Structure 1
Amino acid sequence: MSQASARVNGMSVFDPECTSRSVLEHATGRWGSLALAALTDGPLRFAEVRRAVNGISDRMLSQTLQRLHSDGLISRTELSTIPPRVEYELTGIGRPIADRIVDLIDAIYEQLPAIVTHQRSRDQAESGNPVEAGQL
């Protein structure tokens, strides 16, 4: 991406004061990207998002969902049921961003064999043990 292509209305993601920086951080951070990807199949309750994003604490998930909601990427709907339920869903703003995150995840999966091979080669080189053909 060139700096010119990252500019919209005079703003640039490369400018530390640009609002897009915090949105980019929220959407593509460790938990934000996984939460957005989990919501691509439809609305989910908090516990369902937590199960989908395995390994996240309740506190971190709550903070992540609050940030995504404050950026307008997801909606939060309180349902008047007993017990009360809250559902999270992608908004019109969040849908194209989540779809691109899923595309990125797909690209990573496609390249994963090559990535693993590279990581093993690097690890072997750093440990001083050369990698022999067929060892990977």
Structure 2
Amino acid sequence: MSYDEKNAWVYAVVAIGGYAGYLAVILDRAQGVPLSTVAYVLPMILAVGAAAVASVVGHLVIAAAWPTEAGRTDQRDREIHRHGEYIGSMVLAAGVLVALGLTMAELDHFWIANAIYLAFVLSALCGTAVKLGTYRRGF
């Protein structure tokens, strides 16, 4: 497994874990009240911040565990990264259009913010899934 593939696994796990933690907090707070009335801003900020920190820590752990591989990328790694980022960007663009539609429909900020957050998470997961699939199957 290449260094970049290991980092892709970290990114996927952090994206899933961060969003799952956020959802758990929001759904716990929504006991008996409409979702749109739940205080979501601080949990979302904390989830994004914790995911960023966890991602950095994960990448540092991989770099420390495999120091000879750290920073080594070849043409294949660069192409796989580019392809995954392209797919992730397309998913993000679709999510932004959904959030824009929610804004135009004048829905609560809760739904708009959560649509944007979900778009980022799905973008990360789709892009990473493409990268991991390409590492395993090739182009």
Task: Please give the range of the TM-score, normalised by the shorter of the 2 chains.
Answer: under 0.3
Indicate the structure whose relative CO is greater, using CA pairs within 8 Å and at least 6 residues apart. 2
Superposition TM-score, scaled by structure 2 size = 0.27
Superposition TM-score, scaled by structure 1 size = 0.28
